[in-house]
Amino acid sequence: MGTRTTTTTTTTSLGILMLLVYSAGAYTDPIIVTDPSILEAGEISTETTLRCNLTNPPSSIAGHVWKKDGENISSTRDEEASTIMEYKLTAVDAKHSGVYSCCYFTTPPVNNSILVKAPPGVSSDKKSEHGNEGDVGVLTCKSSGYPPVESWLWSRNTKGGNEIIVNGTKKFQIKIAGNKTELRIYPLNIEDDQGDYSCNATNEIGTRAEIIHLRVRGRFAALWPFLGIVAEVIVLVAIIFIYEKRRKPDEISDDDEQGSAPLKSNASMNHKDKNVRQRNSN
């Protein structure tokens, strides 16, 4: 009994081992080789091509598509059963930077990513801002591209050179939210605060800056256009009043003279017609 039990156990273990060996040989994980895996601005200044090559697909390939930052690039969708995917970049800069993924339509789907890195793109809604003396001046900047911005720095050009703006003072307040930054200046002074301000964005690849010009107007500058309009209206009304006052007596006398003449003429004509009718009747 003991020998038979040992033999049965050995046979079972050998069968399981052979099954594991067969399974390991029959299936290999899919591999997507990317070229390059990471691309940084400065490595190449002209257009370049991203490439993926799929080996050992888990099933037949029903097509593929490229994605950027998780969104499909619609022009790249293809139903071709090809293991090689290519996507051409016209430049390696903030606009074209991001996470590019080559996605194969297999069962299950497989994909891999290529990181395209560049210094941040920095922009502002307005190249020039203005404010009134005594009010709050607000300057804003935003960034784009990959990798995301790690730090923001505001500065301004003064007679003594480039001055770094320190956050949290009574004069300046800096706010940062995601890819945006805001500089608040209070109160605005026409002598001290007018000039060029620079917002500097930095990520792991480099630093870029945007310059905004701030104009500060006098406290009552906003009233001058309104006062100018009021003055124009007053002058116009005065001219019309004087013109009407000088013109009216002359026109009334002329109208009276012109109106009386036809009345006399009509009366004489009517009298003559009446006499003619009386003669005819006699």
DSSP conformation letters of 25-74? HH----EEEEE-SEEETTS-SS-EEEEEEEES-SS----EEEEETTEE-G
- The two structure tokens encoding residue 282: 């006699």
Q: Angle CA(179)–CA(180)–CA(185) in degrees, nearest 5?
A: 160
User: Tens digit of pLDDT for each residue in 45-100?
Assistant: 678 999 999 999 999 999 999 999 999 999 999 999 999 999 999 999 999 999 99
> pTM of the full predicted structure?
0.68
First-to-final CA distance of the chain: 173
Inter-residue contact 133 to 56 (CB < 8 Å): no
What is the rounded distance in angstroms from the CA atom of residue 76 to the CA atom of residue 87?
Answer: 8
DSSP 205: S
* Lowest-confidence segment of 6-10, 30-34, 167-171, 228-232 by average pLDDT: 6-10
Inter-residue contact 64 to 103 (CB < 8 Å): yes
CA-wise closest residue to 101 among 54, 143, 135, 68: 68
- Mean pLDDT taken over the chain: 82
CA-wise closest residue to 138 among 149, 121, 126: 126
User: Cα–chain-centroid distance for residue 59?
Assistant: 43
What residues pair up with 99 in beta bridges, in sequence order? 115
User: Tens digit of pLDDT for each residue in 106-165?
Assistant: 999 999 999 999 999 999 999 999 999 999 999 999 999 999 999 999 999 988 888 999
CA-wise closest residue to 95 among 72, 68, 114: 68
